[in-house]
Chains A and B, each alone.
Chain A
Amino acid sequence: MAGELVSPTPALRGSARRTAALRLLRRRLIQAVPLMLGVVIINFCLIQMAPGSFLELMTAENQVSDPATVALLRKTYGLDDPVWMQLLKYIWALLHFDFGFSYRQNMPVIQAIWIHLPATVLLMVSSIALAVSIGVAAGVVASMKVRTFWDSLVSIAAMFFYAAPSFWLGIMMIVLFSVKLGWLPVGGMMKIGGASSGTWAGVLDILRHLILPTLALGLFYAAIYTRVMRSSMLEVAQLDFVRTARAKGLSRNKVTIHHVLRNALLPVVTILGVQMGTVLAGSVVIESVFSWPGVGSLLFDSVSSRNYPVVLSIMVLGSLVVIAANIAVDLIYMWLDPRIEIR
């Protein structure tokens, strides 16, 4: 959803920037409405097309064969309505922030997601932070030491982490750091029966558990950012304003940090917004490997059990996250390069 860039224009300053940003935000929010509607309709239809239903699985697991009971359950869960009516009811419920009821967890869907959400948010934020910081730093180093040993080292490492499947990387890290060296926990989010998450000891315990899943998920994206950052840095370094800055006598580091880096970050920011959805998808695998009790695990279980209300809600919330991330990207564009106007 990142907007069309029109550049260069005279840089906006002060209140004009704020006004432009607010205008952009309003426009993006309006555009998000039909987008979300499309997401809901497409996901709903895809789920309807999948064979098997949660009701069949529920009656199977509860050994219910009485047709009257099955009919009652169908009515209870609104499955006796035509599909279009079910869709309209679902959209109406969503408009009232009602995500439905999860029979499997025996609780409202939003509660089921809420239980798992903090773990996933923590994993995603830490992985993205790791990926951006390592990717940007490594890309800068590689571009500053282009065609040297360091450049080659960074490129090889980036290639390795890009090519290595994250689940394999995760298992290998468990074997090395948890089983062989015993430095880090094998899985889970906290030591069972350990300190409470509200204490410093508990926070440290969570951080220890977070290291390996963050590395397994984040290094793949770090590899991408490294490559993008390196080429972007090299490209920007060739531009006229950089040459001008050098001609003015600025030091190499100053030119790199204040002029090249800031402009070279734009492609990274673009990818970051686009990849929010894939990071969420990647967390499904990583949460499975590390027994991380997040939304990814819930999504996996819900798909396996055709727990449609939960699957749909996670899809909707995931889409919201991607839309929000892309709006944020647009705003960061404007901050990074005030000349940019986004239509």
Chain B
Amino acid sequence: MTIKVSRRVFGAGIVATGLVGTSGQSFAQGTPKRGGTLVATWGGGEPQACYVPAGGGSSPTFSSSKLFERLALRKMDGAFEGVLAESWKPSADFKSYTVKIRKGVKFHDGKDMTVDDVIYSVSEIWKKYAVASALTDFAGIESPDADTVVFKYNNPTPEFFFASTLCSPVAYIVPKHVYAGSDPVTNPANNAPIATGPWKFKEWVRGSHFEYVKNENYWKKDEPYLDRLIIRYVRDPAGRAAAMEAGDIHIGVFNPVAPPDIKRLTATGKFVATPKGYEEAVWSTTLECNMRNPVFAKREVRQAMFHAINREFIAKTVYYGYARPGTSPIYSPNKEFFTADTFKTGFDPKKAAALLDAAGFPKKADGKRFTLNLLAAGWFPENGKVGAYVKQVLEDVGVGINLTVPDRPSSIKRIYTDYDFDLAISNQANPSEPVPSTTQYFTTDGILKGVPFRNASGYSNPDVDKLVDRIKVETDPAKRKALVFEFQKITTQEAPLLPLVELESITLASTKVQNHSNDPNFLAASWGDLWLAS
């Protein structure tokens, strides 16, 4: 997953005060009111294009998800619900899925959405760009009739995996008549999309905002409730806070303002802040070991790195308590697959030192066992702070550290192209389905030079590869869950890459905004059901 979101706000710390009281709160009251303009922002910058076929990061996902629609989505209660698909059903051998396409859906230019659009989107956009790594077993798609498509796979495909693919935030249905015969990456329509969603693109004032207007022909007859949706870009968190306080912006997702401003604004009673709406995009800060360095050949050395680090301290100090120690590559909010029954690499500096001694790396005369290059990816300022702390504690156990905090392009190049690091502090955002978003950090086929947010550590273990291959094809949910539990046990013990902390993200909204934070990936939701109270 590509990361492109500023988390500067985490640097100053997200204070739980003012948030705790809202976490269980419902943000919908009374009968929806129609009309009005909602002005929204987010904690990052303007996207490179309104729609990026490959995803392109959180910013284009935020802007495009209000226009485009997916075949399905996942609800807060964990259930899957059809959007442009009415239903789907696996074959007896789970090698194909029959999907009924919703009838009566029109694109914003008035043309009907048909199975041809679905087939084009899946084979030309999903397979090549948007969800390519999830479609490695994909064998093709065909339409037996005008309302049905059949996804075919080379191997049995679990239902949860299939449904999760349909729900992927960038697995959109795009208009074939607009994209066919062009390079989707450079198609001019990416900057003025034509789609099926509740909002129609009206204008992009570069450097300022997107303006979307109500889709009068939207297939959900009641939605959208609002007349207009403005996505405004304000680079500076303080500027966002001021704009929200002045009433210019109603809602900000993904940590729009600095923590002291969250506290201050919620204290006025005019705003609410909530960590809800990020359950399918849980972020973490990770530490990964470059297996190309011979010192990491022994797993005890890798485990020692994690034993030396107090994750609780990072959560409390760097993230001001708005993070929790990570214990597994599957994150704790994941109700389907998380297990606490994993190998523990908790804070224990003495054990870290003992493991390093036993691995054949005693302290030398200068007090150091060996020296490592620690790269803290500079796309989030907090990573630099975590890096400074990790340097300190690893030096306490006799590991010399050269810390660098390069900017985003340099970090991507050094971690994922040049493999120019020994230890790297990076970030991930993973949905509930672990294949491939989580597993690709550990499998051999995830080692793809130049492709970010994959297996940069170079960790390759045939046992893990085989286990993941079994997870991919296990169609019995209980057995699959057990396999994912096993995956967590092995990877936490092997420790090539583990989360240091799981982060929580914040939405800040005016109390006028109703029905927000009602989707487990709210940033990527359509927002057709939001409305403004008087």
Residues of A within 8 A of B (CB): 51-54, 56-57, 59-65, 70, 103-106, 115-116, 119, 171, 174-175, 178-179, 182, 185-189, 192-193, 287-294, 297-298, 300-301, 304-306
Cβ B208 vs Cβ A188 within 8 A: yes
Cβ A293 vs Cβ B239 within 8 A: no
- Apart from A61-B52, A193-B211, what 19 extra A-B contacts exist at CB < 8 Å? A51-B409, A51-B414, A52-B412, A56-B417, A61-B4, A61-B48, A61-B57, A63-B451, A65-B451, A106-B191, A116-B206, A174-B238, A178-B242, A185-B248, A187-B239, A188-B208, A192-B205, A288-B236, A300-B235
Residues of B within 8 A of A (CB): 2, 4, 37, 39, 45-46, 48-49, 52-57, 129, 132-133, 185-186, 188, 190-191, 205-209, 211, 228, 230, 232-236, 238-239, 242-243, 245-246, 248, 406-410, 412-414, 416-417, 448-452
Cβ B246 vs Cβ A52 within 8 A: no
Cβ A62 vs Cβ B246 within 8 A: no
- Asked whether A61 and B408 contact (CB < 8 A) given A56-B413, A186-B242, A301-B46, the answer is no
Cβ B243 vs Cβ A61 within 8 A: no
A60 (CB) vs chain B CBs: closest residue: B452
Most chain A CB neighbours (cut-off 10 Å) among B49, B53, B246, B448:
B246
Which A residues are in CB contact (< 8 Å) with B208? Answer: 188-189, 192, 291, 293
Which A residues are in CB contact (< 8 Å) with B46? Answer: 301
- Give which listed residue, B54, B233, B413, B449, contacts A52 with CB less than 8 A: B413
A-B contact list, 9 entries, CB within 8 Å: A51-B410, A53-B413, A56-B450, A61-B54, A65-B449, A175-B242, A179-B245, A187-B248, A294-B207
Whole-angstrom CA separation of A194 from B52 in the bound complex: 29
Whole-angstrom CA separation of A287 from B233 in the bound complex: 12
Most chain B CB neighbours (cut-off 10 Å) among A61, A116, A297:
A61
- Asked whether A193 and B57 contact (CB < 8 A) given A60-B416, A186-B248, A301-B45, the answer is no
Cβ A56 vs Cβ B2 within 8 A: no
Chain B nearest Cβ from A299, distance in angstroms: 11
Which A residues are in CB contact (< 8 Å) with B211? Answer: 192-193
Which B residues are in CB contact (< 8 Å) with A304? Answer: 407-409
Chain B nearest Cβ from A334, distance in angstroms: 39
B249 (CB) vs chain A CBs: closest residue: A186
- Asked whether A51 and B406 contact (CB < 8 A) given A104-B48, A185-B248, the answer is yes
Cβ A186 vs Cβ B52 within 8 A: no
- Asked whether A116 and B238 contact (CB < 8 A) given A57-B409, A187-B243, A193-B37, the answer is no
- Give which listed residue, B45, B129, B245, B412, contacts A57 with CB less than 8 A: B412
Which A residues are in CB contact (< 8 Å) with B410? Answer: 51-52
Cβ A52 vs Cβ B409 within 8 A: yes
- Asked whether A291 and B233 contact (CB < 8 A) given A56-B417, A62-B185, A186-B243, the answer is yes
- Asked whether A289 and B239 contact (CB < 8 A) given A65-B451, A106-B190, the answer is yes
- Asked whether A63 and B413 contact (CB < 8 A) given A193-B211, A301-B45, the answer is no
B41 (CB) vs chain A CBs: closest residue: A291
Which B residues are in CB contact (< 8 Å) with A52? Answer: 406-410, 412-413
Whole-angstrom CA separation of A53 from B451 in the bound complex: 14
B234 (CB) vs chain A CBs: closest residue: A291
Chain B nearest Cβ from A119, distance in angstroms: 7
Whole-angstrom CA separation of A290 from B240 in the bound complex: 10
- Asked whether A193 and B228 contact (CB < 8 A) given A51-B406, A57-B412, A62-B52, the answer is yes
- Asked whether A293 and B205 contact (CB < 8 A) given A61-B48, A61-B57, the answer is yes
Whole-angstrom CA separation of A187 from B230 in the bound complex: 15
Which A residues are in CB contact (< 8 Å) with B4? Answer: 61
Cβ B450 vs Cβ A65 within 8 A: yes
Whole-angstrom CA separation of A64 from B205 in the bound complex: 29
Which B residues are in CB contact (< 8 Å) with A294? Answer: 207
- Give which listed residue, B54, B242, B407, contacts A63 with CB less than 8 A: B54
Chain A nearest Cβ from B126, distance in angstroms: 12
Cβ B450 vs Cβ A293 within 8 A: no
B451 (CB) vs chain A CBs: closest residue: A65
Cβ B239 vs Cβ A186 within 8 A: yes
Which B residues are in CB contact (< 8 Å) with A171? Answer: 236, 238-239, 242
Chain A nearest Cβ from B171, distance in angstroms: 13
Whole-angstrom CA separation of A59 from B243 in the bound complex: 35
Cβ A182 vs Cβ B246 within 8 A: yes
Cβ A53 vs Cβ B207 within 8 A: no
- Give which listed residue, A63, A119, A290, A306, contacts B132 with CB less than 8 A: A63
